[in-house]
Structures are given as structure tokens and as C-alpha cells.
Amino acid sequence: MAEELKDVRTGFVEGVSIAVIRQLLDDLLDEKVFNYGEMEAIDEGQSRVNKARLFIDMVTKKGDEASWKAITYLYERDQNFATKLGLPRDRPQGELTSSRRSATSIGKSPASGAEFEWSKTLVRCKKTFWNSKKNDPQIYPVTEKSTWNRMALLINNIKFKDPEQGNRQGADTDQRNMNKLLQALGYEVVNHTNLTGKQIDKAIVDFSKDPKLKDTDSVIVVIMSHGKKDFILGVDWTGIQRKHEEDVFAIDKIFKHLAPGNCKALMDKPKIIIIQACQGKNDGKVKIRDNADGVKIRDNADGVKTDSCHSAARSAPAADADADGGAGSLKWVHEEKDFLSLLSCTPDTVAHRDVTKGAYFIQYIVDALNTFACKDHINEIYRKVMRRFEKQSFAQSMQMATIARDTMTKDFYLFPGVFPVQSPGI
């Protein structure tokens, strides 16, 4: 535990308050980690920064037991700050011999099957974890420079022309929460609101041409709107339009615009696509007979809203040189690779949205990334989102999020907080 405290020394010194330091001193005096002389040496005649430095250095020198007690009481005194630092909640082995409650009471490990607390702020990754992964060939590379240049696109349709379609109440909350998350992960977010289908297409094309993409390690594209199977609805969509005149955007176009043929800057880089939209009008449930007990249908929520309303195959050689001897050489690459597409619901079904808290899908993704991006790769995080839907049910219907398209050949870890969010200007 002393090493865990050392890893967050800078963040602790920069962020801890004098009030919390003094509370921790009292706690550790009671635990006999400090004596009165040590407590006075820290507390008397020092600035806040120096108090913090002396405190954390003295605790870590006393070893793992003292460090674990300090972590325990920091969670008790300032849970948000301890979570932001990314300090462990659970002790690797043994029990804390203290009459006061331990940090483990704040949250249970999901591996144990018990309930745990979703973090509302991004938990930082330890640099030691990044060090253990950075040379792994099965991991998409993430470097200090690449985290300074991360780019994301967020499109959110809220107000629709057709009153029958209805405005997406609560979607403004989704936009705030997603922006906060993406920025905390180090992404510069390009925001668009209330676009037609053609404008959505243009926004993605423009994004694909951004010169900053050459330096990013990944991109995240988030689109939130009404929808139908395989399409996002533009704000001018109405149910009476002719098919060829419908204001829609084909989801498939995202992959074409960001694929190597149209966006070489993103070749071999993770492209995470997150889409909150209905894919149809079905309620997503089916009746089954459970032995002799009849039909079981889960139904425990009220007042939710919904957001309803191929290239030819070809064979190719491994490489093909420019026969005319022009500038550079030509080679064959995969037409589509390194995408992960996350949809709010399965085909032909609805996606639910709370009119104040926003879409359940967006809520769950934000919670999962805040809590687990510090240690899990993106596919495992999304499985946690799906398991949360597995346990959730809604009035008259049941929603299941899905991975719609996955061509990721490696594991993608976001490593939040390992490096400064913004470039230091070098």
C-alpha cells in the first residue's frame, strides 16, 4: 500500500485540503501510526503544500500497514478526492485492525457478485499499470503525446421538427455528462447539436479530415438521436416522407468515412462508435414458460421514454507496387478494421430515456468508464454495461445494449489520468 500512496503523491499534495490533513492526523494518532511529536511537526508552522508533503512522506516510510490506514481514513474524510486519486478501496490481503470503518465498506468488488458503488468521477489509472502494459503487443499503444492529442465527436439531436416525433427530453443531460467524461479522458470534443441527416454526414466527413487526428491514439464518436433500424434520424424527419426523401443518416456511413480509404490518419487506431437511438419499435421482450410456474416477465419501472420514432467481395495480393514508378508505393489494407460499435439496443427494438437523467445507455456507459477505465479494456467495460441491462427492466419492455460491430484486433485501454490531460506546450 505504500507504493500506491507514492504513486499518487503529486496529486495528493496538490489537492488535499488543510482540514482533511488535520482530520487524518487525528485519525492516525488514534491508530498509533503517529505520535504527538510527529503530528505537531507536520501541523505546526508549515504551508498547506508542505503539510501534505510531510504527511504522505512520513506515512509511506512507515510501510504498508500505516499507508493502508491512511487510505482508509482518506476515503472516510473525502471520498471524492480519494476516488479521483484512484486509490484502492480493497486491501489485497488481511484485515484492517481498526475499530473505525474501512474503505472497503464504501464499495464491494463486482467480482464478488455483491453490489458496489459506481463512481461519478473518473478514477485515475496508476502509472505502474500503464508501465506493465505499454510494451504489450496485444495492446493498442497509448503514449504521453497521443493522450495530449485525443479527439472526439459528439452529435446530439434534441429538438425535432415533427411534433409527432417529439423532442428528446433529458438529452441535454446526456450531452453534459458525456462531454465531462470525454474531457476527463483527455479528448478534445467537437460538439454538434440538432443536425439533419445530411449535416450529420458532413460533420463526420469534416471530423475525418481534421489534421489533429494524425497524432491521436484513438477517436470516440458519440451520436444521440431518434432512430430506426440501421439509421439515425435527422431533426427534419417526419413519418410521412417518401423513402428516398427521408431525413436520415445511414449508420454504415460512419465506418466508411473513418476507414483507411477515407481517413488514413486513423489507420490501425481504435475507433469507438457509441450510438444512442432506437433501432425499431419492438419492446425487446419475449414470453417463456418457466417449468410449472407459468410465464415470468420482469416489470419494475415506470415513466420511461423511448427514442423511437455492401461492397463487392474481392481478392487481393498481399502487396502491390506502383508499376509506373510513381511517388510512393501502393499496398492493400483492410477496408475496415479497429472499430468497436456500441449500440443502445438490439435490432428492431426501442431504447429508453429518462426525461431528467437522460438515456439509460449513456448513464451506464458514463458510470462504467468512470469506474473501470482505470483497469479494464473497452470491451470488458462494455460487457459491464450489458450486464447492468441484463439486471434492469422497464415498464412494458426490456432493453439490451449490444456490440454491433467489432473489428478490434487488440485490447484498448484508456489509461485515464496517467498523463496530464493537456499538452505542456512542448
Block mean pLDDT (10 aa), the chain, length 426: 85 90 86 84 80 90 89 87 82 41 37 60 90 94 94 97 87 97 96 98 98 97 96 91 86 97 97 97 84 46 53 38 51 95 96 94 97 95 94 78 96 91 47
Q: Where in the chain is the domain with CATH 1.10.533.10?
A: 2-87
Residue 421 pLDDT: 63
Rounded distance between C-alpha atoms, residue 375 and residue 351, angstroms: 29
Residue 352: phi, psi to the nearest 5? -90, 155
Select which of 125, 278, 309, 374 is catalytic. 278
Residue 41 pLDDT: 83
Select which of 192, 226, 352, 377 is catalytic. 226
Q: Is 226 one of the annotated active-site residues of the chain?
A: yes
Q: Where in the chain is the domain with CATH 3.40.50.1460?
A: 127-283+300-309+329-406
Taking domain 127-283+300-309+329-406, whether its CATH number is 3.50.30.10 is answered by no
Residue 4 pLDDT: 84
For β-strands 150-156 and 187-193, DSSP reports them as parallel
Residue 45 pLDDT: 60
Residue 250 pLDDT: 97
Percent helix, strand, coil in the chain, to 5, is 35, 15, 50
- Cβ–Cβ under 8 Å, residues 331 and 320: yes
Residue 308 pLDDT: 56
Please name the residue that has the C-alpha cell 487510505. 71
**Cell of residue 109, nine digits:** 468488488
Residue 422 pLDDT: 56
Q: Is 352 one of the annotated active-site residues of the chain?
A: no
Classify domain 2-87 at the CATH topology level: Death Domain, Fas (1.10.533)
What residues have CB less than 8 Å from 306, skipping those under 6 apart? 278, 350, 351, 352, 353, 397
- Cβ–Cβ under 8 Å, residues 275 and 251: yes
Residue 181: phi, psi to the nearest 5? -65, -50
